[in-house]
Structure 1
Amino acid sequence: MKKSSILILGTDHFSSQNNGDLFMTEKENMLSETKQVELNEVITCLKGYRPTKVALEVLKENDVELNRQYTSYVKGDYRLTINEVDQIGFRLAKECDLQGVHAVDWNKDQDGVPDFNELGGLVESDEYKAFLKLGQELTDTSNSYAQNHTVKDFFLWLNDPVNILRGQEIYMKLALVGSESNPAGAMWTAKYWYYRNLLIYKNLVSLIDSSDERIFALYGAGHLHLLLQFIKEGGLFEVEYVSDYLG
């Protein structure tokens, strides 16, 4: 039985928007002439996927405003910002003559989810220090790679299975933070991180209108492990890979 296709591009966030990220990389100037040329190459490669829909890391409740901006861009009345939603999502959708784009994110406060700014003594634990150490190591490595490679090569690196798994390791270290009576890290990972990604997966599935769908999704690279896991286990998509188009 034919299934819809999906291609997820894991990305760094081009701007310093507050997405609740635990670690933030240094930002390249994606509006520079050099980076714009490199982005053009990426868009040309991704166009080969022939997406029927473009799904973006934007809160679902902001879909109307997102598409107002996209329509304005297509008409020539909207100047693209540095954000990857604009620089990749909007540009790819326009190149593929799509009438709109799709906001598929969820990100809300949940009861029972600890705030890591208010953990008190837990931040002094060995487990929390190990989490911070790995997160900073991966951030530093990402910064160095981005500064010494083209955008296309950086995307290939971010989406390499080895780096996807290392990104997930951060959350597994975080899950160990806390005591038996207060397993704060496990609660955050299960009640927020896994829950958020399950809802993103649900929103992606809702975009399937026929078996001919070819859905391109753009998301922060930290989401890749769980989104790919849920998509593969769900059995509703044929999964395609970034390396098939940017490699």
Structure 2
Amino acid sequence: MSRIPKRLLWLCLLGPLLACASAPVPKPEASEESPPDFFGAKEPKPRLMMLGTFHFKDAGLDEYKPQHRLEVLSPERQREVEALVEALAKFQPTRIAVEVNVPHQDKLDAQYQDYVAGRAELTANEVDQVGFRLAKKLGHPKVYAIDSAPHQVLDQLYYAVDEKQVAALDPKWQARFNQLYTHDDELKTRQSLIDHLRYVNSPERIRQGHGAYSIAHFKVDGEDGYLGVDLRTAWYNRNLRIFRNLQRLMSAPEERVLLIIGAGHLPILQFVAETSPEYELVDVRDYLRAP
């Protein structure tokens, strides 16, 4: 009996294995099916960009009272404001919305017109420093008030809560949030305005900030066990009203709206905007770069 050459023997043995290895592997079936595009993802849509800010001139209305002032009217900071305005102008907004109550639109119009006509100087407020400057640069006839007071009854109940009771709730978490606020308060004095606003508008900082609404006041039970929960709905109510006001500015696909607002509003407003089928949310950090 003749012997089979070793090379041929190996080919006989490995041939089926190589054939299996080279055969296409069937793809596993998708565990979840993506829904069809019922909402026209590629259709032209109004664009919305949100700039979350700290208050350049704090009015002392928030629970944390800043310990460090930002001298926004100093020559150095004014150069930084100008750089910020130049950066935001690249978005080419068609409308600029600011954190002013809608009933005060007439007063806002008068203040803006006085500034444009040279009859008034800008205050340190971010509405003036960023909103007015940018609107004038782009030749806008006005800026838009979009803020709304929360439901009056809920707002009154919020201030009727016993603060001593609140102080006894979640002392550990309240202390940690105060650490965060203190850190941010001091950080703004060390960073350029654009760099600090990039930090303020980062997803992680926005996510962390929203956590403050599920502690302390949120846990005040009241008679039915949900007083604190009901009180927090005033904050959600206010932000949903703000979004409704924004919708009124975005009636056409070519609209590009810039909202300038306190960063604490971003978690709710961004969530509503991202899930809305009508608008495209633009990440402001794409524009927060020094020229």
* Length-normalised TM-score, structure 1: 0.92
Which residue of 135, 144, 149 maps to 2:186? Answer: 144
Please state how far the C-alpha of 1:244 moved relative to its aligned partner: 0.5
Counterpart residue number, 1:89: 131
- Note if 1:135 corresponds to 2:211: no
Name the CA distance, whole Å, in 2 between partners of 1:17 and 1:41: 25
Name the CA distance, whole Å, in 1 between partners of 2:228 and 2:195: 33
Counterpart residue number, 2:202: 160
- Note if 1:236 corresponds to 2:269: no
Q: Which runs of 5+ in 2 are unaligned?
A: 1-42
- Note if 1:66 corresponds to 2:105: no
Which residue of 145, 149, 152 maps to 1:110? Answer: 152
Counterpart residue number, 1:184: 227
SS at match of 2:50: strand
Name the CA distance, whole Å, in 2 between partners of 1:240 and 1:120: 39
For 1:178-217, list aligned pairs within 5 A: 178-179=220-221, 181-190=224-233, 192-217=234-259
Name the CA distance, whole Å, in 1 between partners of 2:196 and 2:160: 31
Give the residue type in structure 1 aligned to 2:230. M
Please state how far the C-alpha of 1:185 moved relative to its aligned partner: 2.4
Please state how far the C-alpha of 1:22 moved relative to its aligned partner: 2.0
Please state how far the C-alpha of 1:188 moved relative to its aligned partner: 1.7
Counterpart residue number, 1:98: 140
Please state how far the C-alpha of 1:205 moved relative to its aligned partner: 0.4
Which residue of 107, 122, 126 maps to 2:169? Answer: 126
Counterpart residue number, 1:24: 65
Name the CA distance, whole Å, in 2 between partners of 1:115 and 1:175: 8
Please state how far the C-alpha of 1:21 moved relative to its aligned partner: 1.8
- Note if 1:52 corresponds to 2:94: yes
Give the residue type in structure 2 aligned to 1:64. D
Residues 221 and 228 of structure 2 are in contact (CA less than 8 Å); yes or no, is this contact kept in structure 1? no
SS at match of 2:219: coil
Give the residue type in structure 2 aligned to 1:215. V
Please state how far the C-alpha of 1:120 moved relative to its aligned partner: 5.1
Counterpart residue number, 2:49: 7
Larger Rg: 2
Give the residue type in structure 1 aligned to 2:111. Q
Cα deviations by residue, 1:120-176 (Å, 9 ceiling, x for unpaired): 55224333x245323311211111211111001000000000000011011122464
Name the CA distance, whole Å, in 1 between partners of 2:56 and 2:253: 33
In the superposition, relative to structure 1, how do residues 183 and 131 fare at CA in structure 2: closer, same or farther (>3 Å)? farther
Residues 166 and 217 of structure 2 are in contact (CA less than 8 Å); yes or no, is this contact kept in structure 1? no
Residues 239 and 269 of structure 2 are in contact (CA less than 8 Å); yes or no, is this contact kept in structure 1? yes
Please state how far the C-alpha of 1:215 moved relative to its aligned partner: 0.1
Number of aligned pairs?
244
Please state how far the C-alpha of 1:208 moved relative to its aligned partner: 1.5
